[in-house]
A and B are shown apart, each in its own frame.
Chain A
Amino acid sequence: MTRITYIEHDGTEHSIDASNGDSVMEAAIKNLVPGIDADCGGACSCGTCHVFVDDAWLQAVGEPGEFEEPMLDINPERSANSRLSCQIDINDDLDGLVVRLPEFQF
């Protein structure tokens, strides 16, 4: 089990125990964390699973992938630590990961 913390836009925190192999998006949906829509079901094709990765975790999470980059690019709220949570696979190295949720998914 890997501990992941999601912080909603209003500051509400949700810490959950996620299964390795799930994506950060899937773990949120399974644990009823609000604020992630995931309309495309994890196909990197909707951009509605947008999260901001806590700076301390940027290195561990890594850069957006080749197909993720253009999806992020068309989001007006994109920032340097933006990622699509369906493209982050959970493993032991991410134990303690903190991500923040945008006010709106777009």
Chain B
Amino acid sequence: MSDVTAQDTKRKRSLVGRDPWTTPLDEIDLAHPGIWQANEFLPFLSRLRQDDPVHYCADSPLGPYWSVMKYKDIMTMEAAPHIFSSEPTIGIVDVIPEFTLPMFIAMDPPKHEEQRKTVQGVVAPANLKNLEGLIRQRVTTILDALPKDETFNWVELVSRDLTTQMLATLFDFPFEDRHKLTYWSDVATAIPGAGLIDSYEEGFEILKECLAYFSRLWQERASKPPGNDLISMLAHGEATRNMPPREFLGNLILLIVGGNDTTRNSISGGVLALNENPQEYQKLRDNPALIPSMVSEIIRWQTPLAYMRRTAKVDIELGGKNIRAGDKILMWYASANRDTDAIENPDDFIIDRPRARQHLSFGFGIHRCMGNRLAEMQLRVLWEEISKRFDKVEVVGEPVRIYSSFVKGYTDLPVMIRSSAIKSAAG
């Protein structure tokens, strides 16, 4: 168990400013957030992919762990949940059982499938068709209100707000209270001492408010005919109708957290990637039909979750290394998505890449992201509406990245929409 606070980790063992190719392998601690925030992580990923693709970090503030860097090794793990367990948790920090909610992302078969089955219908493509119109409406409102000819933070005015609104739509959550959703999501993932909460106890108390709020909505929906939103589906579903409160809360938090930072950071990442690759931005202007494949490429390029953790259930050999039962293993999607053995020119952002969905940002196997089609739909609708309105959303300052090796994203992305880039109403 770790009692390490964000402050502690910050002081220790940062790799920022060090040469990735001469740093001794045993000093490389990829899970330290420093290089992620400083945007210096890519060469360290290349180094390990080349020199030590199944790497052991013996000495980390969060305890020893393995790093798996290659696409094919991660695929091997994803296909073997009986060996590489998602229990007790999928983050590097070990959990405190009494403050941990049951969520199927951190369950193994057969319980995982039983639980996932009960909620996945809500984000299945057939149901997404019903949601698309509403999401387009919300995108339109946000885009039409953006300031012109002045610098603003894209993360705040677009990525964050839009993701919150989309979550509210998914739950048919009272619109005026929608910021509670983002707040609960932040609380659920917060590290005590890093700013938002001081202790796990405090976080848990806050999440009880979340439970109370949703329980009210549940009662209300249960007494009405079945609707298309998630709560109604849970309240009427055969398998979920009698879900115990802790499980109900766990599933809610999973859906809120799962679709929050990830989508938000893909929305920001796309603007950044297009600005860094002007020839690709031109391709998009010339041919908006590329949007669906561009969306997949953005998600690969951004890799909003850098890794997922597994725990070995038995002694097992992987890439020539002997992993012992109980060891922590991080599958670095951020590395696999840049693996030349699996993806051609992986460091290039190519919006018309063939087989663009062949990336690891959603994971693979039984835990493959349940919201993957929803995330893609949201991004597609957003880019369709942006393309109708603006020739360019121009990045005009340095992005500020999140201090985390797990959630890959941004707190600030200064942009400007110039009047000269606004399309005439005809478009």
Q: Which residues of A contact B (CB under 8 A)?
A: 37, 39-41, 43-48, 67, 70-71, 73-74, 76-77, 103-106
Interface size on B, residues (CB 8 A): 22
A74, B370: Cα distance in complex, Å: 9
Distance to closest chain B CB from A34 (angstroms): 14
Q: Are A70 and B124 in contact (CB under 8 A)?
A: no
Chain B contacts of A76 at CB under 8 A? 117, 120-121, 124
CB-contacts of B96-136 with A (<8 A): 109-110, 113, 116-117, 120-121, 124-126
In the complex with contacts A74-B120, A106-B124, A37-B113 CB distance below 8 A: no
Q: Are A74 and B125 in contact (CB under 8 A)?
A: no
Q: Are B366 and A70 in contact (CB under 8 A)?
A: yes
User: A70 contacts which of B75, B113, B357 (Cβ < 8 Å)?
Assistant: B113
Binary flags per residue of B19-47, CB closer than 8 Å to A gives 1, else 0: 00000000000000000000000000000
Q: Are B357 and A37 in contact (CB under 8 A)?
A: yes
Q: Which residues of B contact A (CB under 8 A)?
A: 75, 78-79, 81, 109-110, 113, 116-117, 120-121, 124-126, 357-358, 364-366, 368, 370, 373
Chain A contacts of B79 at CB under 8 A? 43-45, 67
Distance to closest chain B CB from A6 (angstroms): 19
Q: Are A104 and B120 in contact (CB under 8 A)?
A: no
Q: Are A104 and B75 in contact (CB under 8 A)?
A: no
Q: Are B124 and A45 in contact (CB under 8 A)?
A: no
Q: Are B125 and A45 in contact (CB under 8 A)?
A: no
Cβ-closest chain B residue relative to A45:
B364
Q: Are A106 and B125 in contact (CB under 8 A)?
A: yes
Q: Are A74 and B366 in contact (CB under 8 A)?
A: yes
Q: Are A106 and B365 in contact (CB under 8 A)?
A: no
User: B124 contacts which of A40, A41, A48, A104 (Cβ < 8 Å)?
Assistant: A104
A64, B141: Cα distance in complex, Å: 47
Cβ-closest chain B residue relative to A77:
B124
Chain A contacts of B113 at CB under 8 A? 70, 73-74
A46, B365: Cα distance in complex, Å: 6
Cβ-closest chain A residue relative to B368:
A46
Q: Are B126 and A104 in contact (CB under 8 A)?
A: yes
Chain A contacts of B117 at CB under 8 A? 73-74, 76
Q: Are A103 and B125 in contact (CB under 8 A)?
A: yes
A47, B370: Cα distance in complex, Å: 11
Cβ-closest chain B residue relative to A47:
B368
In the complex with contacts A40-B364, A43-B79, A46-B364, A103-B357 CB distance below 8 A: no
Distance to closest chain A CB from B251 (angstroms): 15
A37, B121: Cα distance in complex, Å: 20
Q: Are B368 and A45 in contact (CB under 8 A)?
A: yes
A-B contact pairs, 6 of them (CB 8 A): A39-B358, A70-B81, A70-B366, A71-B365, A76-B120, A103-B125
Chain B contacts of A44 at CB under 8 A? 79
Cβ-closest chain A residue relative to B356:
A39
* Residue from B121, B357, B373 having most chain A Cβ neighbours under 10 A: B357
Q: Are A43 and B75 in contact (CB under 8 A)?
A: yes
A63, B358: Cα distance in complex, Å: 27
User: A41 contacts which of B126, B358, B370 (Cβ < 8 Å)?
Assistant: B358
